[in-house]
Chain A
Amino acid sequence: MKKRTVAAVGVGTLTLAFAAVGLAGCGSNQDDGVVTIEMVQYKPEAVDVFEELEQKFNETHEDIQLVIDSPNDAMTILKTRFIREDYPDIVAIGGDINYSNFLDAGLFMDISDFDGLEDIKQAYLDMDKELEYVPMDGVYAVPYMANAAGVLYNRDMFEEHGWEIPTTWDEFISLCQEIQSEGVQPLYFGYRDVWTCLAPWNAMAVDLAPSDVCYQVNAGETTFAENYREVAEKQKQLLEYAQDDPFAYSYNDACTAFARGESAMYVIGSYAVPQIQSVNPEINIDSFVFPASNNPDENILNSGNDLQMSVMAACEHKEEAYEVMRFLLEDENVQFYVNDQSAVPCKEGDFELAPMLDSMKPYIEEGRLADYQDHHYPSEMSVDAMIQTYLLDDDENALDTFMERFDTEWVRYNRDVIRKVQEYMEQNPDKE
């Protein structure tokens, strides 16, 4: 009796399950002249913005149906879809090493005939060019939104104490000393989350090293030891002004500490602001460009493509995909995104920026900016972990060890890319 019940329940569940699964398999293919454009964007925090933009687009376009996915862990999902050869029409991702790899795998379409490119700031277009392993003809991405990294500071604390925004390295260090002498913690780091080690690194490297240093190294023209020494030295020096044992604290701990006024400054990107504000909605934040050089003219803003759109090579509706991008690039929609995400638009124009970017505005307007250097580092090389190892290394040769390791590991992890670059140079001896 009992056994029969168990069996019946089992069979019942199975039948139900298969029925449900069977139903799920049905997809519909609209064949009424409406073209569906599917876009996958990788910032789940912007899901609300894109839902609204999607709705607005669909209300105004009868012949195109736009579907925007904002999946969690979008990079994994994109890669799995590429394996299945199940391509969306447009992908909106960051301008980083993943873009380089996807581009290198031939996944993107040349969109040099897209009219919207004319309005994009040249600096951001150049960044995408530099992400190509070997220079390619054509354009493969439309920079949409950028973020900016430097030093976040607590505006109220600065005003209260009369501290000034520094424009050179020496000024920055004396500011740190001054803050410290007044009994306030100047900096706070969350180095237990290794990736945060890259925040000061990137912000300083744009000032102290050429933006195409990785390409130069691949071409055999220079080494990292020649370019990164100063960056590494200065990052270690910053530890003197940080809380005790910064390697014990996480990114989240650091955000909470800064939000609660436990430190005056926090070297991180504008992307941390929402997390900080969630803890303290009242906090008055501004940010300034990291002055790593003693020559103020060399100090530029660390800003990179946070969201850029590429049309997949497999897309069959190029014109409709362009229409979608044109729509997203309309001033009104750009401003809508900027307001919600405190982002920096890549498009030329008079946009209203978030208050925490006030001190960076001149740099943004003049285009005095350069990409995150880590956008060129292969993630498997784990430069972030290497920096953490170096910062923890008390040996007097720590810097030499680190620099040597950077150069050897670079060669090991980039072997195929270096070969590609050198082949290219042999074939095009006169090109830079």
Chain B
Amino acid sequence: MKNGKMKNDRQRTFMLITIPVVVLFFFFNTFPLLRGVYYSFTNFKGYGSYDFVGLRNYIDLFGDARVGNSYLFTVKYAVVCTIIVNVISLLLALGLNSKIKGKSVLRGIYFIPNILGGLVVGYIFSFFFTYILPYVGQALGIEALSSSMLSSESTAWFAIVLVGAWQSIAMNTIIYISGLQTVPEDVYEAGSIDGATGWKKFKNLTFPLIIPFFSINMVLCMKNFLMVFDQIMALTKGGPSQSTESISYLIYQNGINGGQFGFQSANAVVFFVVIVTISVLQLRFTGKKEEQL
């Protein structure tokens, strides 16, 4: 009897907390999104009057080579960046969480890239890619590095990957570090008694315990990198030859700065559906992994 009442109290409390939160979320996220969906059927410029154009924007979208290229570039960028960032930040988190000297200082230093700001990052890395790297490349006689990475279609995307990864490693490292805090030390102890060391210890003991954080990081990376915008603005402005125009770059530049708000709203809607699908699949996949363990 008492137990049942407690259960009811628990459920009622949960509901009382959840409902207002969901309402708030609906009102400032879903509701404006629905308005955006509505605009995607118009030729709205963002102000003034507009006409309904039916499915024209969506039909145009699928025939637009520029939009198609932006999807290819963005996906390539996001996949490569996600892998690089997750590998490095996991290693970094393990390193920063181990028994090292000057822990706080090192943690502070590795955090800095995340807060330097777009203008600074843009200027410094442009300088690095335009002047320093080609100089080093020429001095060492490395053909591939002797001209700017930013001016060639085949390398510009990778320069953006480097900068994007450099900036976001800090954030994913923090998440991994906080995940590592939930790994109890007796797990390590038990492990070292059994003689588990290095890679084996990580694979069998540590990693399974931080899988929730791994899946969070995967989803966050995909989200951040699929929505890449700042690095493009800072480094290439979509060039050379429009090879680094990301989806968000098109949505923002043409939808907000240009007069294509309706069309880009359609682009945003499709983009939203695409990433939600990818992420739900991802969450399902890692969720299954979690259950297995």
Contact = CB atoms under 8 A, between A and B. Distances in A.
A and B touch in the complex (CB under 8 A): yes
Interface of A: 75-76, 79, 82-83, 97, 101-102, 104-107, 191-195, 245, 247-250, 253, 378-380, 382, 385-386, 388-389, 392-393, 412-413, 416
Contact of A247 (B134, B239, B245): B239
5 contacts: A79-B46, A79-B256, A83-B46, A105-B45, A248-B150
Interface of B: 43, 45-49, 51, 60, 126, 129-130, 134, 147-148, 150-151, 153, 236-242, 245, 253-254, 256-260
B151 A247 contact: yes
Q: Is the interface of A mostly helix, strand, loop or mixed?
A: helix
Contact of A248 (B130, B256, B257): B130
Contact of A379 (B48, B49, B259): B259
A163 to B, nearest CB: 29
Contacts of B151: 192, 245, 247-248
Nearest to B129: A248
B48 A106 contact: yes
Contacts of B237: 192-195, 385
Q: Is the interface of B mostly helix, strand, loop or mixed?
A: loop
Ranked 8 nearest A-B pairs via Cβ:
A105-B48, A380-B258, A248-B148, A380-B254, A248-B151, A247-B151, A82-B47, A389-B241
Given A248-B147, A248-B150, A105 B47 contact: yes
Contact of B240 (A250, A380, A382, A392): A392
A79, A194, A247, A253: most-surrounded residue (chain B CB, <10 A): A247
Given A245-B147, A248-B130, A385 B239 contact: yes
A105 B49 contact: yes
B283 to A, nearest CB: 32
Given A105-B48, A245-B147, A248-B148, A75 B257 contact: yes
Nearest to A244: B147
A194 B238 contact: yes
Contacts of B47: 79, 82-83, 102, 105, 107
Contact of B239 (A76, A192, A378): A192
Contacts of A191: 239
Contacts of B134: 248
Contact of A192 (B49, B60, B150, B257): B150
B130 A385 contact: no
Given A105-B49, A106-B48, A416-B43, A378 B241 contact: no
Given A102-B48, A194-B238, A249-B130, 16 more contacts: A79-B256, A82-B48, A101-B259, A192-B237, A247-B148, A247-B151, A247-B240, A250-B130, A379-B258, A380-B254, A380-B258, A380-B260, A382-B238, A382-B242, A385-B238, A388-B242
A393 B241 contact: yes
Contacts of A416: 43, 51
B129, B134, B260: most-surrounded residue (chain A CB, <10 A): B260
A348 B150 CA distance: 46
Contact of B256 (A76, A104, A105, A388): A76
A380 B256 contact: no
B223 to A, nearest CB: 24
Contacts of A75: 257
A379 B257 CA distance: 8
B240 A388 contact: yes
A171 B200 CA distance: 75
A379 B256 contact: no
A104, A107, A191, A248: most-surrounded residue (chain B CB, <10 A): A248
A105 B237 CA distance: 29
B247 to A, nearest CB: 14
Contacts of A82: 47-48
